[in-house]
Structure formats: C-alpha cells, structure tokens
Structure 1
Amino acid sequence: MTIADEFRSRNFSIYGQWAGVLCIVLCFALGIANFFNLGHILLVIFAVLCLASSFIILFIEIPLLLRICPTSPTFDNFIRRFETNYMRAGIYGVMSLIQWLSLTITDSSLIAAAVVLLIAACMYLFAGIKGQQFQSSKTLGGQGVAQMIV
C-alpha cells in the first residue's frame, strides 16, 4: 500500500499518524527555538516539555524505533499503552493542553505546536468515534515492517 492509498483509505488513524509526524518536526523545532527565550524562564520550561513531547511522539508513531533503539522495558511498556485510537487521542490532547497553557505566560510560537497536537488528537478521536480500527502506516514502520527487521 502506497502513501496515496493510505490517504485514500479514509481511515482517520492514518491521518492522525501523519499529523503526528508533523508534530514531531514542529515540536522539535519550536522546542529548540523557544528554549533560548531568556526573557521568560517559565516559557523555557514549556519549550523543554515541547521538545520532550517530540521524542515521545517519535516512538509512539514510528514503532520500528522500539526495535532499533536500545530502550528500557519501562519505556517500552509506557509507549505500548498508546496502541489504540482513544489512548493516542488522550496523549495528544494532554500534550496539546500543556502547550496551550504556555500562552498564560506570554504569546509564543508554541501555539503552533498546540494547534497541530490538537489536530492529531482530533483525528485519533474521530477514528475512535467512527469505530475504525487503528491502522499503522507501512511507510512509518508499521504492519509487518518491524517484524521483517527481527
């Protein structure tokens, strides 16, 4: 199945997964960019949380990395909790809420991360509401690709 076929499947979990990939890049870039904002020290804390979110999302959305990277069993069990649409919607919702709370300090570019995280949460929530089974993108290492490595 190609990327175009995956998008044509109308499965919101695929859309959520690709929105998650966008979140990885955006959270990483904005976390680093706002890390050097020395005017508001509390904003630096939110930037660090945004940066940490990018690494958590990286392991959630690209299951192949759990097989390649040496991680602890505790971390692996934490990441494996997010295998359903509702659990992924929940974690993205929490990460989005954290970034929305950064606006209480000052306006910053972290609002972009909050919006995209919210979009990913909504995609997974829609997939859960529609009763769609979670379907992982083959391009990102899901559905058989990880098994081929081992």
Structure 2
Amino acid sequence: MAFVEELRTGNFSLYGQWLALLSGVLLIVLGSVTFLAHVIFSILAIIFGVVCIIIEIPLLMKLFPTGPAFDRAFGGLKNHWWRFVAYLVFAIVMWASLAKGGGILAIGAVTVTMAAGCYLIAAVKKQSKITTTMLGGTGVQSHYFDTRNAVPV
C-alpha cells in the first residue's frame, strides 16, 4: 500500500508513527547540531530520537533480540496510551530546553508534541494499532481488502 493511501485511512496511530519517526530523525540531527551549546538537552534529544526510531520501526524490533528488561521497559509502548505518555514526557523535556536557550530543539519538541497528540486521539477513538508496511509493519490492507479473496470490501 502506498504512503498516500495509508494517510487516507484516518487512523491516528499511523499518523503518530510517521510523526514520531520524523521526530526521531529531527531530535538526533538537532541534538547533534546543538551538542556543544546545550550538552544535557542535546544528549537527551539524541536518546529520545533513538528511542522513537526503535519503538516505531517494527522491523528493528524483529531484527534485534530483546531481553526481559527491555520488554518490561518498552513492552507497554504497544498501547496508544503508553506511547502518548512517553512522547508527552519527551515533548515536555524538549520544551523545557527552551528555558535554557535551546531554541532550535523546539522543532523536535513540536513534532514530538504532534506525535503525542495523534496517539492521544487514537487512544480516545479506540483505533486499532496500525503500522506502515513501508517499514515492516502490519499496514492497513486488512481494512480495505478481504484477505480470503483479495476483493475490495
């Protein structure tokens, strides 16, 4: 399924996944760029970015074996509410960086806030967890096609 078709589904968990991936990349890049000026917030931004990417790409979770400690720490993030809370915490920390002069890190704060908002909407609407097929996820095909006959529903 193409990217545009996935965006037409109206499933906010899919939107949250894309925004969280964008946030992960931005946090890593912006954390690297501002490293010398804002060491603590830059390190946190890089850590948050890596966590966003690991959480949101299902293929990475399949490639790298995890232990029980990792599963306890991040296993709950399969739920929309837990992802909302995690990204909200990331956003609060990144917004706090503005108080210390980390202006450009606000870009990452905005995207993480938007990802948290999407997961909140998905949780409130009780939408099913859907991940993009482009990154090894479940995709949205099951909502549009009868898998027994591959005929549009």
Settle same-fold status: TM greater than 0.5: yes
1:74 aligned to 2:69? yes
Q: 1:139 matched to which residue of 2? A: 134
What is the number of equivalent residue pairs in this alignment? 139
Match of 2:94 among 94, 99, 109: 99
One-letter amino acid of the structure 2 residue matched with residue 73 of structure 1: P
Flag the structure with larger Rg: 2
Gaps of 5+ in 2: 140-153
Q: 2:149 matched to which residue of 1? A: none
| Cα deviations by residue, 1:84-126 (Å, 9 ceiling, x for unpaired) | 1111111110000001111111142111111110000001111
Specify whether residues 77 and 107 from structure 1 end up closer, same or farther in structure 2 by C-alpha distance, changes over 3 A only: closer
Q: 1:9 matched to which residue of 2? A: 9
Q: 1:148 matched to which residue of 2? A: none
| Cα deviations by residue, 1:28-69 (Å, 9 ceiling, x for unpaired) | 1011011121xxxxx210110000001111111002112212
Match of 2:42 among 43, 47, 71: 47
What TM-score do the two structures reach when normalised by structure 1?
0.86
RMSD: 1.5
Q: Percent identity?
A: 37
Asked if the contact 1:59–1:79 (Cα under 8 Å) also holds between the matched residues in 2, the reply is no
Gaps of 5+ in 1: 38-42, 145-150
